[in-house]
A = this chain, B = another copy of it.
Amino acid sequence: MKTVIAGALSALLLSAAVTAQAQVSPEDQIELRKAGFSYMAWNMGKLKAQVIEGSVEYNQEQVEAAANTIAAIANSGIGALFGPGTEKDVGHQRTRVDPALFDNMPDVAKLAGNMGTAANTLAAEAKTGDKDAIRVAFGEVGKTCKACHEKYRLD
């Protein structure tokens, strides 16, 4: 477990270093992290419709594509987009982040690591086409989203 946390933290810090060097402005960081989370949410919605609600017919190719996208974004180093200066609205970008997040980076890294792990499991289950397993894995990813929102997202 320590290794997982250390790995997640390390990834977060390394990515932060890259962002610093690539000089993504705080305004752009907020825009990009919202973009990443929105795009994950859209893909979660596709899975929800197909494996939870059944409001859309199950399509193996689409379910795999959606799960892969969620896993890739979850593991893309999105933590790097919570750099200095992104604690509050900047320019045209509004953020719902709780500034407390920036004082609790080890905890955030742990939550982010949990999301990445759960999303990888979802992507793996999606490949099998086992709907029950996908349903469970989808629920686990949802819990990791919620865990961070409840702690670090303002209403």
B-binding residues in A (CB < 8 A): 11, 14-15, 18, 21-22, 24, 31-32, 34-36, 38-39, 42-43, 45-46, 49-50, 55-56, 59, 61-62, 65-66, 68-69, 71-73, 75-77
Contact = CB atoms under 8 A, between A and B. Distances in A.
Nearest to A50: B18
A105 to B, nearest CB: 18
B62 A68 contact: no
- 7 smallest CB-CB distances across A and B, nearest first, come from A72-B72, A35-B35, A69-B72, A69-B76, A68-B72, A35-B38, A35-B39
Task: Give the interface SS of chain A, mostly helix, strand, loop or mixed.
Answer: helix
B36 A39 contact: yes
Contact of A11 (B11, B18, B61): B61
Nearest to A75: B65
B56 A18 contact: yes
B36 A65 contact: no
A42 B32 contact: yes
Nearest to A66: B76
Contacts of A38: 31-32, 35
